[in-house]
Amino acid sequence: MFTKRIEKMANLLPAGKVVADIGTDHAYLPVYLIKNSIVPRVIAVELNPGPLEAAKNTVAKYGLQGKVELRRGDGLKPIMPGEAAAAVIAGMGGATINSILAESLEVAKSLKKIILQPMSDAHLVRSYLQSHGFRLVDEELVLEDNRYYEVLVVQPGDSSEFDDIMLEIGPILFSKRHPLLAGYLEEKICHYKQIIDSLDRSCKVGAQEKKQYFEEKVYFLEKVISCLLDVPR
Ligand SMILES: C[S@@+](CC[C@H](N)C(=O)[O-])C[C@H]1O[C@@H](n2cnc3c(N)ncnc32)[C@H](O)[C@@H]1O
């Protein structure tokens, strides 16, 4: 339950501050944060009744009712500006994360730090951030049970403009030469090659344009890997 991914996100949060965990599910992150004395209090928000019940059970099991406050609601809406110094929005698709931020911009901008962990479409999240007054301050990758997880650390503020390939790779993962990045990009290339193969066999209108789009992605990602590994490809 206290996985490497949970641990990584917990250690990226500002110690000693109140944190909001949005989409808490079983409330594993809040419990980890309190049990390890990283923060004094967590406001855990959950939209759906089943996961909220699971969260209640976890909090009760650890006797943390006074330190983890559960709120039922949508995204950041149950949080007032100033109630939390940081928030975590993890384990959801990139489009859902973007809409949670977009629907509560005032609250999001009041936070000192936001940890985002999209399960898909991280490029859409980076693109949203750079055009809506948020800046990436760190990025991490976690490999757990053969799956890569991207973790974005964000603050309100002006951002640099990144091109499409950097939005996909993660500009900070690239600039700090994250040790898991080459493996992660290899996995993406493998996935895109499968798409290219199926587009090759498709007679649908636009299949060739799509194929060219993915071939270009593969070309650029291979260049990035060779740069990371410092070998010509
Ligand atoms: C896959 S779980 C991730 C749980 C946890 N955050 C983690 O990373 O391990 C996603 C959770 O987010 C909840 N959720 C989805 N959309 C939400 C929203 N708009 N507001 C609050 N919770 C939401 C779901 O009900 C589900 O419990």
CB-defined site of ligand 1, < 6 Å? 22-25, 45-48, 51, 74-75, 90-92, 96, 100
The CA-to-CA distance between both ends of the chain, in Å, stands at 40
**pLDDT bucket at 231, cuts 50 / 70 / 90:** low
C-alpha to C-alpha distance for 27 and 169, rounded to whole angstroms: 30
| Atom 9 of ligand 1, nearest CA residue | 91
| Atom 2 of ligand 1, nearest CA residue | 91
**What is the pLDDT at residue 199?**
95
pLDDT in tens, 78-108: 999 999 999 999 999 999 999 999 999 999 9
Q: Give the angle subtended at the CA of 214 by the CAs of 132 and 222, to the nearest 5°.
A: 90
pLDDT in tens, 100-139: 999 999 999 999 999 999 999 999 999 999 999 999 999 9
Ligand 1 centroid, distance to 223 Cα (angstroms): 36
pLDDT in tens, 48-71: 999 999 999 999 999 999 999 999
